[in-house]
Structure formats: structure tokens, C-alpha cells
Amino acid sequence: TTPVCKHRRVDQEFTFSLSSPFVSISAQKPTRPGFQTNEYTDAQLQEIVKKLRERANVYKEKLNDPVISSPEASPPVYMLCCKFKKPPLKKYMEYMKLPDTIDSYTDRRYVAWLMLVTIAYNWNCWFIPLRYVFPYQTPSNTIYWFAIDVMCDLCYLCDLIVFQPRVRFIQGGDIIVSIGSGTSMGTSCLDVLSVFPFDILYFFFGFNPALRVNRMLKHNTFFEFNDRLEAIMEKAYIYRVIRTTGYLLFILHINACLYYWASDYEGIGSTRWVYDGEGNMYLRCYYWAVRSLITIGGLPEPQTLFEIIFQLLNYFMGVFVFSSLIGQMRDVIGAATAGQNYFRSCVDNTVSYMNTYSIPRLVQNRVRTWYEYTWESQGMLDESELLEQMPTKMHLAVAIDVNFAIVNKVELFKGCDTQMIYDMLIRLKSIVYLPGDFVCKKVSILVLFQ
């Protein structure tokens, strides 16, 4: 039985339960309005108030500490009152204002601008050969082609004059952020040459699309856009597959243009091998390019020496290009499924090990459940492998955002020094336990924190 000690006074009655490890105190309300204050109760209340004040001061220090969480600035929060309030127009204008310096790795506006320049670059790459070879550019629609060309040239000029000088770059180990401090790594001689106005030769040679072939030299922006877009996408392998497919379609497009040029050189419909001039000229040439470049076969035999040489070169190029694209597609798909393959390999090896040593079926099921739950919740088996590759400061920033809220709920660590908590956060390791798993003994915890 639990020993009970009763202490009676004139004004109140208190009952103390001495059962370990807690002491419960119950007090009855006074029966008379004129009562005296109990000294023990008053001391306990003062102690509780003191602890609450100390705890409030600790939380105030944590709120005022600028490094308590991620060093990135928190997004603005707008208060809601009965209806959604939109941020003022001034906020939008400040956000859309072009900064003095641009961080190409984190600024989403710069990625959006690169997408616009990439669209202009693809327009030139696809339609300059098409307009030069096929008779799709006529005097009646020249004004429309010229208008789109002017818009593409404006994108090139804005990128060269406005955006590229603002992009940060590293020179001699220092990050250059001011305009005019040096030449940006994104600005090259090819970018300057791509905007050279060979269009003025229109006055002497007519509106010839071949004079705009230098616009196809701005390939650095295209590859930079691919790198920046893949860095912010959650599933970058999808874009890689689409981009590789685009490469294949573009090569077939160039091959179709070359076939029509060869047919026009030999004479449309002059032999069985050339284009006969019937149907949609582009679709017919593109169909021939697909069957020829992918070496499907079933094409008319070339008859003249020019046709034989052209067909041989086309076959050689088709085998090389097609094998290269197949290998690139294999690498993209392999990289996308590398994590899943590693997970399946670990599960298969573990199951084989358990079967070798005749592990009970109940334990095997729990092991499989642990693997499946860990993979679905984390996407990996050991997340510490990724964090170990980061510098210590970045590792600490990620650990604070992930684990600080959990550690802050533990009574043992409340009021501890901030640096001690940081050191502990770096050493924490995420481990998933299933319901009913034995984690550790209470005695071991007491010994650990003595």
C-alpha cells in the first residue's frame, strides 16, 4: 500500500502521496473565507512561476536567434481576414524588378528567361534550314517570317546586353557580382557572333535565310537552360528522355532537308530515288529520312553516282547517330532507375541471406515490411550518405531544418546551449522502426546522459 501522510491546518487540508517517483498533491477548498496562506504551497507556486519565466526567456532567445533555422529568408506571410487579401502591386513590381546581380543557380526568373531564349534558338535551328531548302518562304509571307526573326533577334540582344553581364561567375576563387567587373563565363565569342547583323546583306542578295545561319551558334544558352532546368526538377530524367527524343527528331529533320536539296539538285522526279513531287513535300521527305537514317530499308536503289555517294554517307551517319542516341537513352533510363535497382538488390540479397540461415517467416516478413516502408517514406535506405558529401555548414543547415523541431520537443534538451544542440544535430542519424520493435533499454539512456 502507498503510505499517505495527512497534514491538517485550520484553513486547508493537504494530502501528500509518497509513491515514487512522483509526489501528488491534492488540496481542498477552505471552508471559511478567512484563511491563512500555506508556506509550502506558496513556495511551490513561486518555483513554478520562476521555471515558466525561464522557459519563456529561452524561447525568446531562440526566436531572436538568426541562425536557429535555415539561413534562407522566410517567405512573406499575408494575414487573412474574412477573405483572401492579395499582396499589393508594389510587391509584384519589386519581385519582377531586374536585380543588379543574378545567381544562375537559384534565381527562377533567370531560368524562365533562358527558356525564352531557348525557344528563339530552336526556332532558328529548325526553320532556317527548312526555309532555305523547301519553298515555303514566298514573297507573300516574307513579312511574317521577318517579324518573327526580329523578335528572336531582340531576345538574343537582351540576353547579351542585359542578362549575361549580371550573371555571377567565379574568377580566381572570388565570386564576381558587380556589372563591369569582368567578362561573365556565360558570355562567349559565339554569343557575340550569333547576333552579328548579317541581315544587312538582304539589300544586296535578297531575303535569303542562309544569311541568318550565325543565329545557330548560340548553343551555350541552350545547354545552360538544360542544366538549370534539370537542377530544379524533381524528376529530371523525364526531361532528359524528352530532350533525347528531340535530338532524334531534329537529326531526322536535317536529313529530310538534305534529301529534298539532293532531289532538287538532281531534278524533282527525274529518277526513282529522288522525291517525285507528289503529296506534302516535307512529310514525304521526312518519311524517307526516317526509313533511311534508321536503316529500315525498302527504299528505291540510287542510280547516279551522286545518289550512291549521298546514300552511303546517309547510311554511315544513320548507324552512328542511331547507336549514339540508343546508348544515351539507355544511360538516361539507367540513371533514373539506379536507386530503385539498388533497393531491389539490397532486398534480394537480404532475402537470400535469411533463406540461407532459415530465418523464421515472421522475422522475414517484418524485414520486408521495413524495407518497403523505409523506401516509400525516404526514397532511400540511408540518407546520411547524401549529407556526408556536403560541407559541414550545409550539413548543419539541413540538419537544423529537418531535426530541430524534433529535438526541441524533448524536455531534456530544453534550455541547453545552442551550439551543443547544433553539434548533436549533425550526429543524429535517421532510423526507421516498425511498431513493436525493441529500440533500447531505459537503463542505457540513463547511463548515456549521466
Least reliable range by pLDDT among 92-106, 216-230, 391-405:
92-106
The 10 Å Cβ neighbour count of residue 445 is: 12
Q: Residue 445 above 70 pLDDT?
A: no
Burial class (CB in 10 A: 0-12, 13-18, 19+), 250: middle
Burial 172-197 (b: 16+ CB within 10 A, else e): eeeebeeeeeeebbbbeeebeebbee
Across 200-222, average pLDDT: 90
In the chain, domain spans: 1-36, 108-336
Phi, psi of 415 (to 5 degrees): 85, 0
Q: Please tell me the predicted confidence (pLDDT) of residue 63.
A: 66
* Grid cell listed for 188: 562567349
- Poorest-confidence range of 60-64, 255-259, 380-384, 446-450? 446-450
Indicate the burial class of 381 (C-beta count within 10 angstroms; 0-12, 13-18, 19 or more): middle
**And the C-alpha cell for 140?**
507573300
Query: Whole-angstrom Cα distance, residue 170 to residue 32?
Result: 82
In this prediction, residues 320-349 reach a mean pLDDT of: 84
Q: Which of 60-74, 133-147, 156-170 has the highest mean pLDDT?
A: 133-147
pLDDT tens, residue by residue, 265-286: 989 988 899 998 888 999 999 9
Backbone angles phi, psi at 26, to 5 degrees: -125, 135
Q: pLDDT (tens digit, 9 = 90+) per residue, 43-79?
A: 878 888 888 888 778 777 766 655 454 444 444 444 4
Nearest to 400 by CA among 375, 418, 385, 374: 418
Residue with the larger pLDDT of the pair 189 and 446: 189
